[in-house]
Amino acid sequence: MSGNNQLGVLKALDVAKTQLYHFTAIIIAGMGFFTDAYDLFSIALVTKLLGRIYYHKVGAEKPGTLPPEVAAAVNGVALCGTLMGQLFFGWLGDKLGRKKVYGITLIMMVVCSVASGLSFGNNSKGVMTTLCFFRFWLGVGIGGDYPLSATIMSEYANKKTRGGFIAAVFAMQGFGILAGGIVALVLSSIFDYQFPSPIYSVDPYASTVPQADYLWRIILMIGALPAAMTYYWRMKMPETARYTALVSRNIKLAAQDMSKVLQVDLKADKEIAENKATDPKLNYGLFSKEFLKRHGLPLLGTTSTWFLLDIAFYSQNLFEKDIFSAIGWIPKAATMNAMHEVYKIARAQTLISLFSTIPGYWFTVLFIDIMGRFAIQIMGFFFMTVFMFALALPYDHWIKPDNRIGFIIIFSLTFFFANFGPNVTTFVVPAEIFPARLRSTCHGISAAAGKAGAIVGAFGFLYAAQSKDKNKTDAGYPPGIGVKNSLIMLGVINFVGMLMTFLVPESKGKSLEELSGENVNDETASSKASLSRRN
């Protein structure tokens, strides 16, 4: 099917050997995700510090903490911005081109990272308000990077190693999280050495030195550096051949651009291009019956699986505090000064990144073009379901001090299989299975569904997991259904995610045009596209 009606320039991309430009594209697109992860996850490193600085209560036994509504805003506003950015810039990437919009998102990330650190005001309300404002727009820029980076890498890659290349871009998130932890470790150590202070239980006021207000700002602002360093190279990348040829209809320019990239002489296929331009079956819109017939179920599959995955993935913060305390990574707040607390939290994040997050990402990179997207996603959801129930059903057993190590091992395996599983594949597949003129939009819709799930996971379950006994809830929170019942719900969610994966086509080894039906000019186009399920 793919041989006769595929443009020569696109066919050349599909069969091209892995070259330097592939790895250059991975680095250029991947540094965006490095920055995304650094910016999104670095706030967790400094929220305790913000509580000590701006919500200190004289005479309190414990250091100040962010009130629940403030903590939700500071941590969640970037997720809301990300959701909006994914929808808007995903659509814009199809309207204006990937390259034109790519630079805008990067500029937003650089400016808003710096502005977050410069949040102003002489009281807690002023600082938190401006911090939330800039982090919202930071999130919008980050959101735009999702569909654009995935689509660009997908359209540059050859069909043999495309999955691994797109996954490698996403896997740079792991290094971004790791970098955030290392930066916080180094800076908190330097500040603690330069400005020594007693622990909170000895002198509550002096335990947080005035210079601590600079620490969190510097940590957040450093997130602008990797994005700024890649701006020039992003602007030098040519527009993808698939957008130029299939959307802009400029076959000659697409051939010229890819001739330089591939270092071969390519000629434009005028006849095929004209057929594609005049075929009404290949010019349907997002809200058309033709799109619904061809891609409705796959879009439902990509949105629902990403939504369900992110509920479970972002709910991990419910259990981290118990795990960190159980193994002694984070002592009680009153036994540390402000710098010690930042150091301990950063150390925990660094260790998790090294031994759980990063290995899971790169297992997917290595095996996605061997096992296929479908197998890895099914496997990941299956083991996440099993391990969630393994934690939930005997939960009273796991909370005993002698059994905490087993809890930690199962918890770690749960999120290893999230990364060696649907956390990566839900990012990869939407960049492969939709038509070029709607690819970025559909990826943005899928990613936005994921961020909606992240908001549910991070905040809905934060309330749900509170104890049923109102005397045992965290300060400021109403009673919930408890951790055990929350874990059972998450297990069910993962199981449903596994079932919804059956709506998603396998894309391993196929050209983008074959998957989207853009090769075909006859009456069977829609059936061939929609029935390209698992072989």
Residue 119, Cβ neighbours under 10 Å: how many? 19
Confidence (pLDDT) at 52? 94
Separation CA 277–CA 247 (nearest Å): 9
Confidence (pLDDT) at 322? 58
Confidence (pLDDT) at 94? 94
Mean pLDDT for back-to-back runs of 10 residues, the chain (535 residues): 58 81 88 88 90 91 89 89 96 92 91 92 89 95 94 90 94 93 96 94 93 95 88 86 85 79 62 52 82 94 97 77 68 91 91 87 95 96 95 84 80 89 96 94 97 89 78 75 87 96 94 81 40 42
- Farthest CA pair distance, the chain: 81
Q: Which of 180, 483, 181 is nearest to 329 (CA)?
A: 181
Residue with the two structure tokens 């320039």: 9
Distances (CA, A) of 117 to 110, 147, 255, 410: 11, 27, 44, 37
Burial class (CB in 10 A: 0-12, 13-18, 19+), 280: exposed
The amino acid present at 318, given as its one-letter code, is: L
Q: Is the dihedral of CA 325, 327, 330, 336 positive or negative?
A: positive
For 21-60, b where at least 16 C-beta lie within 10 A, e where not — what string?
bbeebbebbbbbbbbbbbbbbbbbbbbbbbbbbbbbeeee
Cβ pair 343, 351 in contact under 8 A? no
DSSP state of 481: S
Reported as type and span, the H/E element at residue 371 is: helix 358-371
The amino acid present at 291, given as its one-letter code, is: F
Confidence (pLDDT) at 411? 83
**Helix intervals (H) in 55-157:** 68-96, 98-117, 124-156
Residue with the two structure tokens 């299939």: 246
The CATH superfamily holding the domain 20-269+285-520 is: MFS general substrate transporter like domains (1.20.1250.20)
Residue 124, Cβ neighbours under 10 Å: how many? 18
Confidence (pLDDT) at 268? 55
Q: Convert the pLDDT of each residue in 360-398 to its tens digit.
A: 999 999 999 999 999 999 999 999 999 999 988 888 888
Instruction: Answer whether 0.85 is exceeded by the pTM.
Output: yes
Backbone angles phi, psi at 384, to 5 degrees: -65, -40
Confidence (pLDDT) at 118? 92
Residue with the two structure tokens 């330089």: 260
For 194-232, b where at least 16 C-beta lie within 10 A, e where not — what string?
ebebebbbeebeebbbeebeebbbebbbbbbebbbebbe
Confidence (pLDDT) at 6? 58
Helices and strands counted in the chain (H then E): 24, 0
Distances (CA, A) of 435 to 124, 285, 443: 48, 10, 11
Separation CA 523–CA 313 (nearest Å): 42
Separation CA 444–CA 288 (nearest Å): 18
Cβ pair 118, 61 in contact under 8 A? no
Q: Convert the pLDDT of each residue in 291-334 to its tens digit.
A: 999 999 999 999 999 999 999 988 876 666 656 766 667 888 89
Measure CA 177 to chain center.
11
Distances (CA, A) of 222 to 29, 54, 261, 490: 19, 22, 33, 35
Confidence (pLDDT) at 317? 62
CB contact set of 232 (below 8 Å; sequence gap of 6+): none
